[in-house]
Amino acid sequence: MSDISPLVKRSLVDQALEQLRLRINHGAWSVGQRLPTEPELAAELGISRNTVREAMRVLAFSGLIEIRQGDGSYLRALADPLDTLKALSGCTQEQARETRQILEVEAIGLAALRRTDEDLRALREALAVSGAHYHGDLDSYIACDLVFHGLLVDAAHNPTLSELYRYFSSVVGAQLRKTLNISPRRQQVFDLHVQLLDAVEQRDPERAKALSRQLINEP
């Protein structure tokens, strides 16, 4: 038996969203599991299939579910990525720095142990592009720098760390923008990126982590 009460008020799409989010939060489905069909959900909620379809589209847009044409809908995440981004956007610069110390430094240490030759090729290319923009337009450089750091985290070959860093990269970019709008870009800081890549290439996790910490504290 379903524990979802029939909906009788206005704004049925919003109410359907609320009920579906509650089920997701309460663990009614596991990540990767196929959700009930639209007719099944419509019957449980006491609403039309069109209302269910609109609610599911909103959930898909927010990243909570994945709609596969001809196959059904699958749970993609247990937390709404939009809510996560809202929370991240409110963190202070010091909180962002602390989080990078925990997340990015450790990921880069793993990257030094696990990187592949393909990872190194992608990192060298990204660093070259970043270097070409280092003394140019600030937004272009930050975008290139985030690509390089994202590839470093990806080289740890831990999908969870990569996903977390992708969410957090907007905060990293904002932190860089605040700092570099005040302080001039110095070549020795960019050179730390070159040394960091060398440490990853040489499979030296402690040196890679030390250089990563230095970069975070001196962007």
Q: What average pLDDT does range 54-62 have in this prediction?
A: 84
The neighbour count for residue 145, using CB atoms within 10 Å, is: 26
β-pairing, 65-68 with 72-75?
A: antiparallel
How does pLDDT run across 22-48, given as a tens digit for each residue?
898 888 998 899 999 999 999 998 889
Contacts of 24 (CB under 8 A, 6+ apart): 64, 75, 78
User: What is the pLDDT, as a whole number, of residue 130?
Assistant: 92
Residue ending a domain, among 58, 79, 100, is 79
The yes-or-no verdict on residue 137 having pLDDT over 90 is no
User: What is the pLDDT, as a whole number, of residue 9?
Assistant: 42
Contacts of 113 (CB under 8 A, 6+ apart): 203, 205
User: What is the pLDDT, as a whole number, of residue 89?
Assistant: 67
Q: What average pLDDT does range 78-100 have in this prediction?
A: 74
- State the Cα–Cα distance between residues 27 and 215, nearest whole angstrom: 40
Verify that 167 and 186 share a domain, yes or no. yes
Verify that 170 and 113 share a domain, yes or no. yes
Is 142 contained in some domain? Answer: yes
Q: Percentage of residues in the chain with pLDDT exceeding 90?
A: 43
Residue ending a domain, among 52, 79, 106, is 79
How does pLDDT run across 160-171, given as a tens digit for each residue?
899 888 878 877
Verify that 54 and 35 share a domain, yes or no. yes
Looking at the whole model, is its pTM more than 0.75? no
User: What is the pLDDT, as a whole number, of residue 86?
Assistant: 64
Is 3 contained in some domain? Answer: no
Verify that 123 and 186 share a domain, yes or no. yes
Verify that 96 and 69 share a domain, yes or no. no
The yes-or-no verdict on residue 4 having pLDDT over 80 is no
Is 199 contained in some domain? Answer: yes
What length is written for the chain?
A: 219
Is 106 contained in some domain? Answer: yes
Q: How far is CA 172 from the centre of its chain?
A: 11
Is 4 contained in some domain? Answer: no
Structure tokens at 47: 């609403």
CATH number at residue 70: 1.10.10.10
- State the Cα–Cα distance between residues 70 and 202, nearest whole angstrom: 48
Is 137 contained in some domain? Answer: yes
CATH number at residue 91: 1.20.120.530
- In Å, what is the CA distance from 173 to each residue of 113, 195, 204, 216? 26, 21, 27, 12
Verify that 46 and 93 share a domain, yes or no. no
User: What is the pLDDT, as a whole number, of residue 17?
Assistant: 87
- State the Cα–Cα distance between residues 162 and 46, nearest whole angstrom: 40
Is 127 contained in some domain? Answer: yes
Q: Percentage of residues in the chain with pLDDT exceeding 70?
A: 89
Coil, strand or helix at 34 = strand
Buried b / exposed e across 9-23, counting CB within 10 Å, b at 16+? eeebbebbbebbbeb
178: domain range? 83-217
The yes-or-no verdict on residue 69 having pLDDT over 90 is no
Verify that 174 and 193 share a domain, yes or no. yes
Residue ending a domain, among 27, 51, 79, is 79
Is 5 contained in some domain? Answer: no
User: What is the pLDDT, as a whole number, of residue 99?
Assistant: 86
How does pLDDT run across 207-218, given as a tens digit for each residue?
999 999 999 887
- Low-confidence winner among 7-21, 124-138, 154-168 (lowest mean pLDDT): 7-21
Instruction: Return the closest-CA partner of residue 82 out of 55, 58, 98.
Output: 58
- In Å, what is the CA distance from 199 to each residue of 37, 44, 101, 139, 212? 51, 57, 18, 27, 10
Q: What average pLDDT does range 117-141 have in this prediction?
A: 92
The number of domains in the chain is 2
Verify that 96 and 201 share a domain, yes or no. yes
Verify that 67 and 147 share a domain, yes or no. no
pLDDT band per the 50, 70, 90 thresholds, residue 3:
low
Verify that 96 and 153 share a domain, yes or no. yes
Cβ atoms of 35 and 44 closer than 8 Å: no
Structure tokens at 46: 């006491």
Verify that 49 and 91 share a domain, yes or no. no
Structure tokens at 133: 């923009």
Q: What average pLDDT does range 73-85 have in this prediction?
A: 75
Alpha-carbon dihedral 183, 188, 194, 200, rounded to 10 degrees: -90
Verify that 52 and 98 share a domain, yes or no. no
